[in-house]
Amino acid sequence: MSRQFNYRHLYYFWMVAKEGSMSNAAARLDMAVQTVSTQVRELERDLGCQLLRPAGRGLELTDAGVVALRQAEHIFQLGEALPDMVRSAAEIQAVRLVVGIADGLPKLEVQRLLQPVLQVEHLRLVCHEGEMADLLAELAVHKLDVVLSDHPAPFNARLKVHNHPLGTSPMGWYGTPYWWEQAAEGFPDSLQQVPVLLPTTHSIVRSHIDQWLAQNSLRPHVVGEFEDNALLEAFGGTGLGVFPGAVAAQDGLRQRSQVRLIGACEGVQEHYYAISTERKVAHPLVQLLLQQQQATG
């Protein structure tokens, strides 16, 4: 196709082909016949082939003209639909929420915490996972609307952020059916007889689990430590060992990893926070998260 290809010329050709003659097309366009004829000839010159030829008192399409008409129909049908499509898109205003997720927060809990906003019509949810310090820096310059974490943001005089509690969940021990049978009876002493998986000390809840083990005089055989909670769940689901997880997530864990709750880790809780730059949150979806927590808890 020539660089001089002109869609206006194509439009005039389209009208001539539909009307069957130059005069009918000119009348439809309210233009002089000579003007329409010149525009069609310009298109043929640009394409390098004849599109129309005389047939009786009118015109007929050449083989090339048939192809050109087919493409023109498609192009101008799309063009006719464009205004309605654009107006519809403009009327549908997406509600955008950009969330930072602290890397120690279990993924199943993220989904549960965000559940109140997932039903919002036209939601556009953007999630970023990372180290707390990096997320807080992005929050401070408004690249994020909120940060979800399993611990409050530490005090920093240069960063004006506010911690909003989103609730807690008691912790429990999970295992595949095989390990559940081995550990359910005689729990928690039975944990010394089965392989155990733990989060690394990077996780806030790890120190509380260690304290619970010490209080119960337990020294389990630790076969794996995982910084990423999703990996902890994945390896626990393969039967590598029993592992701790939020009791609130037991339905999701059972569906995803076919693990069962062996017993509670009494006194150990996972805490959840929404961190914002505002004491009184303005973003409607973050407000929804906080209101849901107030309603349930």
pLDDT in tens, 51-84: 999 888 788 899 998 998 888 888 888 888 888 7
Class of domain 7-90: mainly alpha
As a whole number of angstroms, the distance between CA 261 and CA 255 comes to 12
Tell the residue number behind the tokens 């260690």, with chain if given.
210
Closest CA to 162 of 286, 284, 246: 286
Looking at the predicted structure, is the pLDDT value of residue 93 above 80? no
- Options 3.30.70.890, 2.60.40.1760, 2.60.420.10, 3.40.190.10; which CATH number does 95-167+273-296 get? 3.40.190.10
Q: Where in the chain is the domain with CATH 3.40.190.10?
A: 95-167+273-296, 169-270
Average pLDDT of the segment spanning 98-127:
88
- Cβ neighbours of 200 (radius 10 Å): 13
β-pair partners for 181: none
Over residues 266-295, the pLDDT tens digits come to: 999 999 999 999 888 888 999 988 887 665
Angle between helices 107-118 and 229-237 (to 10 degrees): 110
Chain CA centroid to CA 169, Å: 25
Give me the pLDDT at residue 105, please. 83
Give me the pLDDT at residue 12, please. 92
Q: What's the mean pLDDT when you consider all of the chain?
A: 88
Confidence at 236, pLDDT banded by 50, 70, 90: very high
Q: Is the peptide bond before 165 cis (omega within 30 degrees of 0)?
A: no
Say if pTM beats, i.e. exceeds, 0.85.
no
Give me the pLDDT at residue 2, please. 43
Cα distances from 57 to residues 20, 22, 54, 69, 217, in angstroms, run: 10, 10, 7, 20, 104
Task: Give the DSSP letter string of 13-66.
Answer: HHHHHHHSSHHHHHHHHTS-HHHHHHHHHHHHHHHTS--EEEETTEEEE-HHHH
Confidence at 109, pLDDT banded by 50, 70, 90: confident
Inter-residue contact 261 to 123 (CB < 8 Å): no
Give me the pLDDT at residue 88, please. 65
CATH of domain 169-270: 3.40.190.10
β-pair partners for 162: 276
